[in-house]
Structure 1
Amino acid sequence: MPGSTAAQLWGQDIEQVRDLARTFREHSRQLDAARETIGHAVLGFEGYGPDVDVLREIWSGDLAPAMARIAAALHEAGDVAERNAGAQEETSADDGREGTAVSGDGGGGGNGGGTAAALFPGGPAGDFAGSTGRPGDHAPDLAGWHSGPGSVVADSWDNLLDAGGQLWDATGGSILEGRWPRTTEIVASGALFGGALADTALTTGTGGRVDLDLFDDGEPVAGEPVAVDLDREGHYPRDLEDLVSAVEDTSGPEVRVTTIETARGPRVVVSVPGTQEWNPSTGGNPADLTGNLVTAGGGTSTMTGSVELAMRNAAIPPGAEVMLVGHSQGGMTVADLVSDPGFVSAHHVTHAMVYGSPVDSERLDARVHVLELAHRNDLVPRLDLGDAPALPGPVPGVVLPGPPGGHEQAGPSHTEVTFGDSPGGLLDIGANHGSAGYREALAAGTDPGLLAYEQRLRDAGFLGSGHDASNTTAVDVSIGRRQADHAPA
């Protein structure tokens, strides 16, 4: 009951609690090491000018302090968990039972509010600044929360650690791997980390009673295939415009898998839609803002994972050659998938088409013949800044290869076409980015590279005037995001 001082028993394995303590401390050390490495890289090179000043200001004013706070908070969380393990040993010795005696206020308080306050001094978490996590305190510790509001807080911390790991991969991890950090990856990962940090502070500060699920990407899920009547609700793949139409035919969070039986074996086209939700509070639809940020930041999003699950559920015929098509976020997802050699080999992916998608930072598998389309006035494909490096000059003592840039994608397996005549004016984002505008541009397209790619698809069997109900079938497979179960115990 609220205000009760009666102790409750929270069953825990002492060694598991101590393992959790070690995990918190290890992540704290990793974040501190990352902060030092990135700080040296950002502040230690010789560079001048407004871009350099902005980069250093972002690092010194926002990212470095945030990383320092979360590292300190993680270390403190480890200390709290270690103290609780010791308290549990004492309690078990006193009453002969396994469990940690802590006082409850309804099961919803923060663990050591010092941890929460360290993250956001003076913020909502400060309400718990007096909590130490020791027996007799006013709230149970994080390590002892295993259901109800406690699971909300634990899930928010898991998400924060994931976001911190992606930010590290985009910055210090990239440097250690001998690759220049990319501007878009740092910005996207920084936004994810900032949102996750705010979400963790809010859930911890309210004892798990308020949960916005900010930028929490969860886990991928996919449903069972549902047959599609292409004569009534679809398009047979006869030309490039039909490939765009198939993407437009998808409704809700789903992908369409179209199978064409040819004399040389089956050909399969997987159609992936673009963004459908822009709310930073995530839900069941993975085609959303969070999925965009995870992919743009260099991570593997739930959107990417759910598309692969949908392909498995669709029971693609063994030995079939596969083509993936995606618009906007769908194109980012397609590029992410075909940058994975294991995925390309497992699913025998031979072709891909992306349009209106920022994919210059992807290391596309050279075995896949890729068509990349953009309107001159479509700003979305340029959000990756042409794979621009975040550091404009050399770092003393650090030898890295030159910035890869989109030019590394060029070659016989990569065709890039920019339509000079955009559907709308310079600032008409909707018209220039919309799928319909790309479909119309393809219908009127005369670019030699575009025509050659279309002929390649015809020769491979993906496109053909004879594709109809006699040799072509399709299914829709729903895709989704599953998040932690926050239902009260």
Structure 2
Amino acid sequence: MSDPQLQVSGGAGGTNARYEDIGLLAQHSDDLAGDLAAITAQGHGMLVDPDLLASAVLNPDGFAKIEAGLLQALDGPDGLTALSLDFGQRAIALRTVVASYQAVDEAQARTIDTLRWSLGFGLGLGLQGAVANPLAALPFASTLGAAGALFGDDLDWQQLLTDHPGIIDTLVGMGPGLVSSLPGAPLVGDVPGAANLLADWYQDGTFTATAPDINGTGTNIDTSDTMVRPPQGFADLIAGLNYRNGEADAGQPDQIDVRVITHPDGSTAYVVDIPGTKVMNMPWDPASPFLNDMGTNVHVLGGDTTSRQHAIAEALKMAGASPTDPVMLVGHSQGGMVAAQAAHDSGTSGFPYNVTHVVTAGSPIANTDIPTGVQVLAMENAHDIVPHLDAGDNPDRPNHTTVTFDDQNGNIGKNHATDLAYLPAARALDQSTDPSVVAYRDSAGAFLTGGGDGTTVESKVYELHRVH
């Protein structure tokens, strides 16, 4: 894919940003209505001013003309009183429009969530009935048989799911209802709640962060060209993430890097590259020593502050970051999920650093509440099923920009890969003139340089371990 088509939602040019603009216009209308009302009150006071009334004796005709003119200016059809009322009504109308649109959006989302939950609950009850009474399984068997006849024996499930990733949204969205239908199970209302139940099977443990020897140099400094080049745009950010993703092998310690960016004026900023899941362990497997495993996935999907997040904070401390230095977190898959949760916890004991920017590639982060002071840019391949594992759409907010692109390889892994899917899209994103993308890029000046300005980068590598 050399030139992917990008679709942008949210951010400075998104719907909610426009809603906020309408809200600001409503506030200005209210303020203007109040100012006009105050002027009108002063004008009515002038009508009964003692000096003006006294002048009526000397010049009755002039007095009458002044009174008539003032009354027309104040209370006539186009007078200040009418203008004040008009602006007040306009403010009410503007707020009503915004509230109506937002209420419709929220109602639609709730309806979809409720429908999925009900399907899951009904499926769970049906499966239990089938176990208790095999004859009850006949409708299910008939449905499966019909599906087999429809799709045939040569169905390519990867092609089906990547062509229609909304199937994943539906299946994941059914999960809370399915869990709630089980005997003795608690009532689970949403995906994070279901993830929290599953997380009980995975022990998150505690963590350590160490500085490994890179290529026998005796230091943890990575001097490869990709990692020492000052990032000028999204392609450079994702190239660094892709490089670290390739270095963090399955079965090896979790590996991240901290790119320390030093500007000519001596100020510093930090970019943390966080690869995705490398260990696909099941709940019944022995306890994993690796933080980049399925356990972290379900914990962070449930909204937990994980040991991996704490280990990343420790790595920033080891790299020399202060609590006030600007930090950008760049993550792929699980890495983006952890980055979003760290942004949620920014400035707290959960992540005591100043996260100002987040970039994610193929990460399900729709359910993570990001503070308004953090700018998020989420990249999602329309044929990547992983961003659908939270069964939700990213919020349309002024600080949350989502860039969707189309890259179908017919393969789940390739559609999710940083090198095959997300790096080409990042190159295209650097050419985007969309107002939300431009606003994000402009806000990230501490991390993205114009090139040739004397900015330097030192990339420090850290290995993260789980301790049980």
* Structure that is richer in helix per residue: 2
Q: Is the Cα contact below 8 Å between 2:227 and 2:259 reproduced in 1?
A: no
CA separation of 1:456 and 1:223: change in aligned 2, threshold 3 A = same
Counterpart check, 1:305 vs 2:310: yes
Contact 2:329 2:339 in 1 (8 A): yes
With the length of structure 1 as denominator, give the TM-score of the two structures.
0.51
- Name the counterpart of 1:190: 197
CA-CA distance at 1:326 after TM superposition: 0.4
Deviation at 1:266, TM superposition (A): 0.8
Q: Does 1:441 align with 2:431?
A: no
Please tell me the residue identity of whatever aligns with 1:255: I
1: CA distance, partners of 2:240 / 2:234: 10
Cα displacement string for residues 114-144 of structure 1 (whole angstroms, at most 9, x for unaligned residues)? xxxxxxxxxxxxxxxxxxxxxxxxxxxxxxx
Indicate how the Cα distance of structure 1 residues 315 and 292 shifts in structure 2: closer, same or farther if over 3 A, else same. same
Tell me the amino acid that sits aligned with residue 121 of structure 2: L
Are 2:228 and 2:459, in contact at CA under 8 Å, matched by a contact in 1?
Answer: no
Q: Equivalents in 2 of 1:356, 1:48: separation in Å? A: 26
From 374, 378, 381, the equivalent of 1:375 is 381
Cα deviation code 1:338-390 (max 9, x no counterpart): 01143498312211111100000000011111111101111111111117xxx
Distance in 1 between residues matched to 2:223 and 2:452, nearest whole Å: 14
Aligned partners of 1:377 and 1:480: how far apart in 2?
A: 32
Measure the CA separation in 2 of the matches of 1:466 and 1:331: 30
Q: Secondary structure at the match of 2:344?
A: coil
SS at match of 2:359: strand
> Equivalents in 1 of 2:310, 2:453: separation in Å?
30
Partners in 2 of 1:48 and 1:288 — Cα distance? Answer: 31
- Equivalent residues of 1:265, 1:319 under 8 A apart: no
Higher alpha-carbon deviation: 319-328 or 261-270 = 261-270
Q: What is the alpha-carbon distance in structure 1 between the residues aligned to residue 114 and residue 449 of structure 2?
A: 53
Cα distance in 1, alignment partners of residues 241 and 269 from structure 2: 17
CA distance in 2, matches of 1:60, 1:339: 39
CA distance 1:299–1:377, change in 2 (3 Å): same
**Kept in 1: contact 2:279–2:294 (CA 8 A):** yes
1:158-237 aligned within 5 A: 183-193=190-200, 196=201, 215-224=202-211, 226-232=219-225, 234-236=227-229, 237=231
Q: Is residue 438 of structure 2 the alignment partner of residue 452 of structure 1? A: yes
Number of corresponding residues: 279
1:355 correspondence with 2:361: yes
1:332-411 matches, within 5 Å, as 332-343=337-348, 346-386=352-392, 406-407=394-395, 410-411=396-397
Q: Is this contact kept in 2: 1:324–1:351, CA < 8 A?
A: yes
Contact 2:227 2:457 survives alignment (8 Å): no
Are the counterparts in 2 of residues 240 and 454 from structure 1 also a CA contact under 8 Å? no
CA RMSD of aligned residues (A): 3.2
- Equivalent residue for 1:289? 294
CA distance in 1, matches of 2:400, 2:114: 36
SS of aligned partner of 1:466: coil
The equivalent of 2:86 in structure 1 is: none
Cα gap change, 1:302/1:61 in structure 2, threshold over 3 Å: closer, same or farther? farther
Gaps of at least 5 residues in structure 2 are: 1-112, 129-175, 181-186, 213-218, 249-253
Alignment partner, residue 164 of structure 2 = none
Q: Are residues 464 and 301 of structure 1, via their aligned partners in 2, closer, same or farther at CA, if it must alter by over 3 Å?
A: same
Contact kept, 8 Å, 1:220 with 1:479, in 2: the verdict is yes
Provide the rounded CA distance (Å) in 2 between the counterparts of 1:49 and 1:230: 52
What are the equivalent positions in structure 2 for 1:16-95 lying under 5 Å apart?
Answer: 51-52=117-118, 54-55=120-121, 58=124
Deviations along 1:267-324, one digit per CA (max 9) or x if unpaired, are: 1111111001102233221101111011112222222222122222222156421111
User: 1:245 aligned to 2:239?
Assistant: yes
| Compared CA separation, residues 48 and 260, structure 1 to 2 (3 A) | closer
1:416, CA displacement in angstroms? 1.2
2:262 aligns to what SS in structure 1?
strand
Alignment partner, residue 28 of structure 2: none
Q: Using a 3 Å threshold, how does the CA distance of structure 1 residues 55 and 267 change in structure 2: closer, same or farther? A: same
User: 1:413 and 2:407 equivalent?
Assistant: no
8 Å CA contact 2:323, 2:354 repeated in 1: no
Change (3 A) 1:269 1:50: closer
Counterpart Cα distance in 2 of 1:337 and 1:49: 31
Q: Confirm or deny: 8 A CA contact 2:315 2:462 kept in the other structure.
A: yes
Q: Indicate how the Cα distance of structure 1 residues 303 and 422 shifts in structure 2: closer, same or farther if over 3 A, else same.
A: same
Residues 352 and 370 of structure 1 are in contact (CA less than 8 Å); yes or no, is this contact kept in structure 2? Answer: yes
Change (3 A) 1:313 1:432: same
Q: 1:444 to 1:478 in 2, by over 3 A?
A: same
Compare CA radii of gyration and give the structure with the larger one.
Answer: 2
Structure 1 pair 188–230 and aligned structure 2 pair: CA distance change class (3 A): same
Question: 1:235–1:246: 8 Å Cα contact kept in structure 2?
Answer: no
1:474 is aligned, of 459, 464, 467, to 459
- 1:60 and 1:335, CA in 2 relative to 1: closer, same or farther beyond 3 A? farther
Aligned match for 1:324, one of 320, 329, 349: 329
- Report if the CA contact (8 A) 1:260-1:462 is conserved: no
Distance 1:59 1:295 in 2: 29
One-letter amino acid of the counterpart of residue 262, structure 2: E
**Which blocks of at least 5 consecutive residues in structure 1 are unaligned?**
1-46, 63-166, 172-179, 197-214, 388-405, 484-489
**Is the CA contact (8 Å cut-off) linking 1:268 and 1:462 kept in structure 2?**
no
CA–CA separation in structure 1 for the residues paired with 2:400 and 2:277? 25
* Structure-1 residue corresponding to 2:149: none
The amino acid across from 2:194 in the alignment is: V
CA distance in 1, matches of 2:323, 2:415: 39
Q: Deviations over 1:76-111 (max 9, x none)?
A: xxxxxxxxxxxxxxxxxxxxxxxxxxxxxxxxxxxx
Higher normalized contact order (CA 8 Å, seq sep 6+, divided by chain length): 2
Q: 1:422 aligns with which of 396, 404, 407?
A: 407
CA distance in 2 between counterparts of 1:378 and 1:50 reads 21
Distance 1:264 1:411 in 2: 34
Q: 1:217 to 1:261 in 2, by over 3 A?
A: same
